[in-house]
Amino acid sequence: MGGLHKSQHPRSRSVQSIDPAYVTQVLHLLQETWGHAICELDWKNPFQLLIATILSAQSTDKQINKTTPKLFSRYPTPYDLAQADMSELESLIFSTGFYRNKAKNLNRMAQQLITLHDGTVPSTMDELINLAGVARKTANVVLGTAFNIASGVVVDTHVSRIANRLALTDQNNPVLIERNLMAILPRDRWIDFSHQIVWHGRRICMARKPACTQCPLAPICPSADILIQ
């Protein structure tokens, strides 16, 4: 891959002016470093992944993975979850935070799966975002990870932070960040890009103390020199 000087990628510019060669380099380095990246939530079917992703809001994958084994065992199907005793459901997911609201959403989501989708998780964006507790990020996770459907780009805190540090966007709103990324990334990389950025954010480009000296993207990252100081 040919080298690009950082001055070619100033932080303040429109998406339309981003050099495609720069985007290609970013994707190449991410693939080279994190080509094995996958969703780190534990799941065995789309229903489990949908539950885990809803629970992951304002929590960590590590905490969710500690919580879901008992939850999945207690409520293996939408029919079981739809009939859940709310106090029991709340106690099972208490450690994930915002447990009352999450319990209501899970129970309502399961009821909707039964009444609207014959007890199966739908595989379209429009159908998913109409379920309780599901917004675009959750829908993108389920579609990309469970169904391998590239409907968009998952934008969590890691993707938001690193996309800005890499000057792939200058937006803070997740919807606008996703729109920017969809405009510059090849569709066949949307799913892997999200997984790879999340892994990069958890292991190297942390929020408070990014390990820029160990980062394979540092030579082309327009934020590296600032973050190292």
Encoded tokens for 5: 């000087």
CATH of domain 6-36+153-228: 1.10.1670.10
- Tens-digit pLDDT profile for residues 81-110: 999 999 999 999 999 999 999 999 999 999
- Tens-digit pLDDT profile for residues 13-38: 466 689 999 999 999 999 999 999 99
Domain ranges of the chain: 6-36+153-228, 46-146
- Tens-digit pLDDT profile for residues 197-217: 999 999 999 999 999 999 999
Taking each helix axis from N to C end, the angle separating 86-93 and 61-74, rounded to the nearest 10 degrees, works out to: 150
pTM: 0.91
- Tens-digit pLDDT profile for residues 124-181: 999 999 999 999 999 999 999 999 999 999 999 999 999 999 999 999 999 999 999 9
The span from the CA of 201 to the CA of 208, in Å, is 11
DSSP 146: I
The amino acid occupying position 87 is S
Is 209 among the residues known to form the active site?
A: no
> 176 CB contacts (<8 Å, ≥6 apart)?
169
Whose structure tokens read 């799941």?
43
pLDDT at 3 over 70: no
Question: What per-residue confidence (pLDDT) applies to 64?
Answer: 98
Q: Which of 175, 154, 165 is nearest to 207 (CA)?
A: 165
CATH 3.30.9.10 is held by the domain 46-146: no
Is 137 among the residues known to form the active site?
A: yes
Active-site choice (42, 61, 156, 170): 156
